[in-house]
Amino acid sequence: MKSSLRRSLGLPAVVVFFAAVGCSTSDDTAGPAVPTPSGAQAAKCRALHQALPGTVDGRKRRGTDPDSDLTAAWGDGESIALRCGVPKPALLQRNPAADSVDINGIEWLPEKQPDGSVRCTTVKREAWVEVTLPARVVGGAGDISALTDLADAVRSTVPYGIIG
């Protein structure tokens, strides 16, 4: 796995970052909320949906409720959840230079949530892809290496580019 911070802050900074940042909680029982992207972003998201792997971090892909080409989930109970076509993260609106993490050529903006999960959103892609990793996946150190399993699908379907 190739992983580096865009600003060369190193692994200790990632751990401190995860410990310091807090945002909203998420309830995973009904499946991820379906976003409403623009037509161009929705087309990229549908292509991503078709390219997503059958397993992420050893967890099998499952259906979502409601069923949508804009969402996906892996694992039972507290699962890894993906939403494509979400709005620009509020953190980037407040701080456009927020540090991102490169995992296998895909830049992600990680945001630790109050429940211990980490929400990661792609940056520099033509659609915003958000993945929420539950606390039991990231552990106390904020391990987001599960995103490695999604890199090829994102790279092949959501081109590099800047969106507003």
**Residue 136 falls inside a structural domain:** yes
Q: How far apart are the first and last CA of the chain?
A: 30
Full domain range(s) for residue 71: 35-157
**Residue 28 falls inside a structural domain:** no
Burial of 56 (C-beta count, 10 Å sphere; 0-12/13-18/19+): buried
* CATH, residue 61: 3.40.1000
**Residue 6 falls inside a structural domain:** no
Asked whether 129 and 147 are in contact (CB, 8 A), the reply is: no
**Residue 162 falls inside a structural domain:** no
pTM exceeds 0.85 for this model: no
Sheet with 106-112: list strands edge to edge. Answer: 3-5, 101-103, 106-112, 118-122, 129-133, 80-84, 71-74, 59-62, 55-56
Alpha-carbon span 127 to 37, nearest angstrom: 8
Q: Report the pLDDT value the prediction gives residue 159, as an integer from 0 to 100.
A: 96
Residue 164 — very low, low, confident or very high, per pLDDT cuts 50/70/90?
low
- Is residue 27 scored above 80 in pLDDT? no
* Alpha helix positions (H), 30-104: 39-51, 90-94
Q: Which two tokens stand for residue 44?
A: 């990229």
Per-residue pLDDT tens for 37-61? 888 999 999 999 999 999 999 999 9
**Residue 79 falls inside a structural domain:** yes
Tally of structural domains, the chain: 1
Closest CA to 79 of 19, 129, 154, 136: 136
The alpha carbon of residue 143 and the mean position of all alpha carbons in its chain are separated, in whole angstroms, by: 13
Per-residue pLDDT tens for 112-148? 999 999 999 999 999 999 999 999 999 988 899 999 9
